[in-house]
Amino acid sequence: MATPPKKRQVERRPTLETYEEFVANSGIMELAMRLRVLEAQRQALGLAPHDRELLRCPQCGLFEGADDEGVLFTSLKRHSRHDTGLRFEKLTDGRWFCPFCAAKVVEPAFEPPPGFWDT
């Protein structure tokens, strides 16, 4: 009596996750929340922003700078690191309020230094 041939097993491939499953399982939401906490801590410590260019008011000349340790300061004198203690206030996306003269300041566009994009 002949034995019947064995059934060939079909290899099952893993199914692709939906976007929602990927987001829920990847840890990306926890990472985003941690980044928000770190950004709040950076701001509370008075460190310079890394998500935008530093501001300068075209009307009165008040400008933002950062010292060697990355601490944000504002000054009216070009080569001074004396902090006035004033801080620009965000109005809308890309627009800021100058605390010295009350002018509206437009955030400058990012302009990379020469060679920034070279590989």
Pairwise CA distance, residues 41 & 34, whole Å: 11
Enumerate the β-bridge partners of residue 104: 97
Amino acid present at 59: Q
Helix axis angle, 28-45 to 19-26, nearest 10°: 60
Dist CA 42 CA 36 (whole Å): 10
Q: List, for residues 50-104, the tens digit of each pLDDT value.
A: 778 899 999 999 999 988 888 899 999 877 878 999 999 999 888 999 999 999 9
Kind of pairing, strands 95-97 and 104-106?
Answer: antiparallel
Question: What is this structure's pTM?
Answer: 0.60
Q: In the structure, what pLDDT confidence band is assigned to residue 13 with cuts at 50, 70 and 90?
A: low
